[in-house]
Chain A
Amino acid sequence: MAALFNVRKALGVAVGRGMRSVSQLAELPEMHQMLRQTCRDFADRELAPIAGRLDREHTYPSKQVLELGALGVMAVEVPEHLGGAGLDYLAYSLAVEELSRGCASTGVIVSVNNSLYLGPVLKFGTEEQKEKWITPFTTGEKVGCFALSEPGNGSDAGAASTTAQQEGEEWVLNGTKAWITNSWDASAAIVFATTDKSLKHKGISAFLVPLPYPGVSLGKKEDKLGIRASSTANLILEDCRLPLCHLLGQRGMGFKIAMQTLDSGRIGIASQALGIGQAALDCAADYAHKRTAFGAPIGKMQAIQFKLADMAVSLESARLLTWKAALLRDSKKAFSKATAMAKLAASEAATFISHQAIQVLGGMGYVTDMPAERHYRDARITEIYEGTSEIQRLVIANLLLKEYQP
């Protein structure tokens, strides 16, 4: 009996991390279910009631971010000795999805901190850098941001025009970064600057910049269509002097760091899109039960039923793609194509579902009394940031064709 228990335990441990397979997507492991339930309860009780107000007033949810830090969700993949939760990417994906279902802006704040800031420092930072730049950012008191895009290039990340010159024992950064999420509320940024323009994308390096810092100023907060509770602004670097130890990874490694980070970040954004899509679907399906027209609830009408079915299928397939991408990443297998597919599917599902949700709600979908209009606005950005849908298609096609290379 004890021997059987040990075998089961051993299997559990082997199955627990890294060796999970697609067959286990049918039901999530117990710990992930508990985490999902915790995040769902938090989203329902703490985020959903204030999401409308946060959106109207463009306020950063600092109290909620602190509470999320206490929950352990601001640093899911970070190992415990650095202050994180030490869990896998599937857990992170579930957490972001459930939180985004309550408030999409909070979801993106959590996602940017986890994937775009803590991710590269964890992967490419030295031990001192990890202690300095990771541990304070696990509790929700401080958040980080990721500065890759510029006014002149978004998708064309290799053509960075922000420069970094080494002058003695300092790096001097000059340039402007655009569309930086969390910028107004962040305490650190990973800035990508080119150290040698002639090397093109191989000349880009990554730097850790504390905020606020002499030489770094923030542009105006962008007035966005959606995810208004998270701040988006330009980061302007004018003669910003950094000590040499602020270089992340090796010189010239910046593009590689950016691409690998975005690969993982896509799972976070896909999860956010799933959360928005789920919230919109819940809204529409609930309304379909309650609203009556032509003598019956509109849920009995085929036109509405077909819409809801299409919405549900697109959401569920995007969810499975996202989970598969997360599982592949946890198993340390090649996951770039999977994440690109996940982000593409999830973001397009989110925009489709929220669009149809407004249609199902009719006039009520157009007014701010119902959350459908907010989901519609929040969903739109998921097709753009962290790799536009067009870039995702290029990535998928490239990797797909490589598989068929004669």
Chain B
Amino acid sequence: FWSSRCLIGFGPGRFRYTPPTTTFTGITVKPVRLVLRLVLKSLDECSRSAEKKSENMARVLVGVKRVIDYAVKIRVKPDRTGVVTDGVKHSMNPFCEIAVEEAVKLKEKKIVKEVVAVSCGPQQVQETIRTALAMGADRGIHVEVSGKEYESLGPLQVSKIMAALAKKEEAKIVILGKQAIDDDCNQTGQMTAALLDWPQGTFASEVTVDGDKLKVVREIDGGLETIKISLPAVLTADLRLNTPRYATLPNIMKAKKKKIANVKPGDLGVDLTSRVEVLRSQQGATGSSDAREGAVLGRWTNRRNGPNWAFETVAFLAPIPMATGPIQNHDPRPCCV
């Protein structure tokens, strides 16, 4: 039905099409032509939106989390309810940077058309979204969560939000970092895939498109596993997937013009109540944690100076270059003006 209309509607001749000149007295041809022009224009728009919803429009949703910067020394709050976050330098989770870089690379290879960066949290997460925009994302979505709900926000709630957004934005691929460096949960990607009932390629160290499927090389305890998953799918980025680009000045300038939409979790129909209650936070035993085999490695091993309650170490078989640098790699200032 639409296509037959479009045949009339498209092409250079459309405005030259004149209706049959059976006009009533008092109505000239000109307003009829105008009306027809408007009708054809709306048909144009209808078909264009139909095109948007078509299968060829691949959209990638990338989740980015605002976390305490990796170089900051973490301090537990005196009342032991958590860690000090006020006035402390925050930045994008390093694995999320890798996820954004992968999404932008997919866009540059013309596998996807649009990269949407999503973050959940208070007003400050807009900086993180803007960093993702400066790296090449096209637009951002800020899911407003603040106060107590933000403190208790965990992988379950975020995965519900991501699943709802993936459906709403009709994303083909959802890329997340494999874990956040503040809670080291490594759950959000997997839960999102389960909620959406999509296949998942977690701990991805290489992603290639194979027809209408994705070939994912995963880093697992035993080595490397290659799987083929069909689209739509959820991916989580591991350390060696890529090297995130620097946000260049021209891109930082362009990012200012890109849009960030504000969404409330209620609008997405997501219930944020937490099933987990933090009873107590305390400093770990600060022995010399030279645990170089760790899930978070490379340039983030500065955490050897911090509390080590965060995670149990995971051994990798692949040799990993260590950042054993002189003092200048470490930024001792808690936050920068």
Contacts and interface: CB of A to CB of B under 8 A. Distances in A.
| Chief secondary structure at chain A's binding surface | helix
B149 interface: no
Interface stretch (A41-49, A201-209, A253-261): A41-49
A287 interface: yes
Interface string A25-64: 0111011011111101110110011000000000000000
A41 B327 contact: no
Contacts of A30: 127, 130
A287 B327 contact: yes
Interface string B220-261: 000000000000000000000000001111101101100000
A285 B328 CA distance: 11
A384 interface: no
Nearest to A80: B250
Contacts of A87: 249, 253
A76 interface: yes
Interface in B280-315: 299
B91 interface: yes
A31 B247 contact: no
A41 B299 CA distance: 12
A34 B250 contact: no
Chain B interface helix/strand/loop/mixed:
helix
Interface stretch (B155-163, B173-181, B204-212, B329-337): B329-337
B195 to A, nearest CB: 33
Contact of B131 (A27, A34, A72, A279): A34
A371 B326 CA distance: 9
Contact of B249 (A41, A85, A279, A286): A85
Interface string A333-362: 000000000000000000000000000000
Given A34-B130, A86-B253, A283 B247 contact: no
Contacts of B328: 44, 48, 102, 279, 282-283, 371
Given A35-B252, A71-B248, A370 B326 contact: yes
Contacts of A370: 326-327
A274 interface: no
B87 to A, nearest CB: 12
A286 B252 CA distance: 32
A61 to B, nearest CB: 16
A91 B332 CA distance: 23
User: Chain B interface residue count: which class?
Assistant: 20 to 34
B250 A72 contact: yes
Contacts of B252: 31, 34-35, 38
A116 to B, nearest CB: 20
A73 interface: yes
Contacts of B247: 34, 38
A31 B326 contact: no
Interface string B46-66: 000000000000000000000
Interface string B117-145: 00000000001001100100000000000
B249 A35 contact: yes
B325 interface: yes
A287 B330 CA distance: 12
Given A31-B253, A371-B326, A42 B246 contact: yes
A72 B249 contact: yes
A286 B250 contact: no
A240 to B, nearest CB: 35
Given A71-B249, A91-B249, A279-B328, 13 more contacts: A33-B127, A35-B249, A37-B91, A38-B248, A38-B249, A41-B246, A48-B326, A72-B249, A73-B249, A76-B249, A85-B250, A282-B332, A286-B330
A71 B329 contact: no
B332 A285 contact: yes
A76 B332 CA distance: 29
Interface residues of A, number: 38
Contacts of A33: 127
Nearest to B252: A34
A70 interface: yes
Contact of B256 (A31, A80, A285): A31
Given A27-B337, A34-B252, A44 B246 contact: no
A297 B235 CA distance: 47
A91 B248 CA distance: 13
19 contacts: A26-B337, A31-B252, A33-B127, A34-B247, A34-B255, A38-B249, A40-B331, A44-B328, A48-B328, A70-B248, A71-B249, A72-B249, A73-B249, A80-B250, A85-B253, A279-B328, A286-B330, A286-B332, A371-B326
Given A34-B130, A283-B328, A286-B330, A72 B337 contact: no
Interface string A1-37: 0000000000000000000000000111011011111
A91 B246 CA distance: 16
A371 B328 CA distance: 8
B65 to A, nearest CB: 17
A376 B256 CA distance: 39
Contacts of A27: 337
B332 A34 contact: no
Interface string A242-274: 000000000000000000000000000000000
Contacts of B256: 31
Nearest to B243: A45
Nearest to B326: A371
Nearest to B127: A30
Contact of A49 (B255, B325, B331, B337): B325
Contacts of B325: 48-49
B331 A282 contact: yes
A286 B247 CA distance: 29
A172 B250 CA distance: 40
Which has the most chain B C-beta neighbours within 10 Å: A31, A33, A34?
A34
Interface in A157-202: none
Contacts of A42: 246
A172 to B, nearest CB: 40
A44 B329 contact: yes
Contacts of A86: 253
B248 to A, nearest CB: 5
Contacts of B250: 72, 80, 85
A275 to B, nearest CB: 12
Given A27-B337, A30-B127, A30-B130, A283 B249 contact: no
Contacts of B131: 34, 37
Contacts of A34: 127, 130-131, 134, 247, 252, 255
Nearest to A49: B325
Contacts of B255: 34
Contacts of A80: 250
A148 to B, nearest CB: 28
